Amino acid sequence: MKVKLISHTPSPEKLCGSAASVAYSEEGFEANYDKNDDSAQKILNHCVKSGHHSITEHASFTFSVEGISRACSHQLVRHRLASYTQQSQRYVRFDELAFVTPPKIRKNNEHEELFKETMQQLSDNYKKLLDAGVPAEDARYIYPNAAKTNLAVTMNARELMHFFSLRCCERAQWEIRELADMMLREVLKAAPILFCKSGPNCYSKGVCTEGKFTCGRMDEIREKYEKIHSK
């Protein structure tokens, strides 16, 4: 898996902080934006920590996501307040099936070998269908959830916060949790104040919201995200 923040709103923290200033100022947005950055960062920090997140919708972030499984991408696109462009299995013909192997399968040699054999058989049969004249848009039906895919992903900061609260949680499936952690590390480089409280709910809100499904490791998880934020 490879994740990189490709682009984002210029000066996202100044933009969101200045937008927040409009609510408390006689002046318009332009005048507030032209003030010094320290003023915008101060009010942004207050808004984020107080849970006033509507102003964070003004900033957006675009990622390159490569090498995740279709199983993971199906979970990702459920986050509807975002824009996605995904590698097409209709227009792209694959010489070999690139796939993601779950860690619990890799831990057992017998299981991993069975998994690899199955992927190779599917890859071989895909090529046989293409060679027989079957269109790629139909041959792709043989490909599994393990097949790797690439995406361009754009979310605004508020949706990213929501995404992190759900997908950084230990209850999330392992691959999308790994993706969320990598995306969080990327945005923290660009906007550490904007995402200063981002992470699973036990970190961002200080309380687990999973009820009886809690992992029971809240202190450990909070420590993990403290380290992510401190880097």
Catalytic residue among 70, 167, 185, 217: 167
Q: Establish whether 167 is a catalytic residue.
A: yes
| pLDDT exceeds 80 at position 37 | no
Q: Which token pair is 118?
A: 């199955």
Alpha helices in 23-156 (DSSP H): 29-33, 37-50, 70-76, 103-106, 109-131, 136-139
Q: How does residue 227 score in pLDDT terms, banded at 50, 70 and 90?
A: very high
Fold of 2-84+152-230: Gyrase A; domain 2 (3.30.1360)
| pLDDT exceeds 80 at position 36 | no
The mean pLDDT value for 81-109 works out to 96
Parse the chain into domains and list their residue ranges.
2-84+152-230, 90-146
Q: Which amino acid is at 196?
A: C
**Residue closest to 164 by CA, chosen among 119, 98, 229, 118:** 229
What pLDDT shows up at residue 34?
84
What pLDDT shows up at residue 97?
96
Q: What is the pTM of this model?
A: 0.94
